[in-house]
Amino acid sequence: MSLDDTQRKKVAGWIADGLKLSEIQNRVASELGVRMTYMDVRLLVDDLKLTPKDTERPKAIIPPAAPPAAAPAAPGNPLKVESTPAPADAVGSSVAVVVDQIARPGSVVSGKVTFSDGKKADWYIDQTGRLGLTPQEAGYRPPAADVQQFQIALEAELARMGL
């Protein structure tokens, strides 16, 4: 279906207002009385040579914390990947992260972490993106500072691996 010039100007205004294509599709139906598929709306916006605005996602503010020092090598265990050495400003970091080459069942990626007090835990990220920790010692809860260091080190390690 084609729209007249005034209707096209309304669509252009909605794009300028930052509406998503699905919202435009709903408005075209409710305000203009024209039923269009999502693909029709995409093609219309393309024909008008408009580009929908990408909404800026809020950026997480990560306090500056040192990534972990290199994790100890896992001799004789081919399923582990050694963590990269820490940058010069991270010397003294006390959390070590190791990523498994083969993720544990039910997870996208998994590995092990050693906290500053020497306690160890298995970590995993499931298919929905949730991070989980399974301490080797029942009831263990790592210190809050270690959890922050772990999250930063894990993010850096996964980025290094291209994940």
Residue 116's pLDDT is what?
A: 87
Does the pLDDT at position 143 exceed 70? yes
Segment 104-119, tens digit of pLDDT: 888 889 999 999 888 9
Q: What is the mean pLDDT of residues 45-53?
A: 77
In eight-state DSSP terms, residue 45 is H
Residue 93's pLDDT is what?
A: 60
Q: Which amino acid is at 135?
A: P
Domain ranges of the chain: 5-47, 80-160
Range with the largest mean pLDDT of 14-18, 90-94, 125-129: 125-129
The better pLDDT of the pair 51, 89 is held by 51
Q: Hey, which bits of 23-137 come out as E strands? A: 80-81, 96-100, 107-114, 120-126, 131-135
H/E stretch holding 134 reads strand 131-135
Does the pLDDT at position 140 exceed 70? yes
Q: How many CB atoms lie within 10 A of CB 11?
A: 21
Segment 69-114, tens digit of pLDDT: 444 444 443 434 444 433 433 444 688 898 888 888 888 899 999 9
The better pLDDT of the pair 24, 51 is held by 24
Q: How far apart are CA 24 and CA 18, in angstroms?
A: 10
